[in-house]
Amino acid sequence: MPKAARGLSEPRAATALAGVNGGACGGDGARKRRKHRRTTPAKAAGQPARKTARKSAKPTKPQRPVAKAASSRAPKMRSPTTSARRSKKAAIISLLQRPDGAALGDLTAATGWQVHSVRAALSGLRKEGKELAREKDAAGVTHYRLAANA
């Protein structure tokens, strides 16, 4: 009877050979099934082994010179403080500065965010030191607004 087939009738031996319940950790015979590396003639002669797929020292794509690329473009006249579009945080602040404030639905519609993201942004405003007032209207909808002293 071959060695692998012997003991398969026992449940422990079958699971260990199948790689279940710790069979892959050791004792499954995987080490014997792996191919062993053979020494190459270069390694036997004392020379270092060489990889076949080695990257060349030269880059494959020629890189464009930075000075030439910068001179061909028109310089940008935008200052770092002004942006081309309004940020979502600025949209939230402007909605909160209204006398009635803004409901969560207004804030989600203005930013495109989900409700939990808008609440996180409101928490961020509180952490920055802005004082938020929260009031419920007659319909039970919560409106957030920036307090007068903020």
**Using N-to-C axis directions, what is the helix angle for 115-127 and 104-111, rounded to 10°?**
100
Tokens 């200052």, residue located: 79
Tokens of 106: 């207004």
Domains in the chain, CATH or no CATH each: 1-43 (no CATH), 88-146 (1.10.10.10)
Residue 94: pLDDT band (50, 70, 90) is very high
Which tens digits make up the pLDDT trace of 110-139? Answer: 999 999 999 999 999 999 999 999 999 999
Instruction: Please count the CA atoms within 13 angstroms of the CA of 116 that sit on its side-chain side.
Output: 0
Given this model, what pLDDT does residue 148 score? 75
The whole-angstrom separation of Cα 12 and Cα 130 is 66
Give the three-class secondary structure for 14: helix
Tokens of 113: 């965010």
